[in-house]
Amino acid sequence: MLRMTISALALALAGPAAVAQPPVEIVAHRGASFDAPENTVAAVKLAWDQKADAAEFDIYLTKDKKIVLMHDKDTKRTAGGVNKVIAGSTLVELSGLDVGRWKGEKFAGERIPTLAETLAVVPGGKRVFIEVKPGPEIVPYLLDELAAAKLPAARTPIIAFDARVIAAVKTARPELPAYWLVGLNTKDKAPPTAAELVAKAKEIRADGLDLSASPALDEAYTKTIRAAGLKLYVWTVNDAAVAKRMVGLGVDGITTDRPGWLREQLAK
Selecting among 28, 29, 61, 198, the annotated active-site residue is 29
> Hey, is 239 helix, strand or coil?
coil
**Distance between CA atoms of 142 and 116, rounded to whole angstroms?**
10
pLDDT score for 3: 41
DSSP H or E run through 60: strand 54-61
pLDDT score for 187: 81
Q: pTM for the whole thing?
A: 0.91
pLDDT score for 231: 98
The domain locations on the chain are: 21-266
Selecting among 25, 63, 71, 205, the annotated active-site residue is 71
How far is C-alpha 126 from the geometric centre of its chain's CA atoms?
12
pLDDT score for 92: 98
157 is catalytic: no
> Hey, is 35 helix, strand or coil?
coil
pLDDT beneath 70, residues of the chain: 1-22
Topology of the domain comprising 21-266? TIM Barrel (3.20.20)
Q: Which of 257, 164, 245, 249 is nearest to 206 (CA)?
A: 164
Buried b (16+ CB within 10 A) or exposed e, 158-176: bbbebbebbbbbbeebeeb
**Distance between CA atoms of 109 and 254, rounded to whole angstroms?**
30
71 is catalytic: yes
Residue-wise pLDDT tens digits, 193-224: 999 999 999 999 999 999 999 999 999 999 99
**Distance between CA atoms of 258 and 239, rounded to whole angstroms?**
10
pLDDT score for 230: 98
pLDDT score for 234: 98
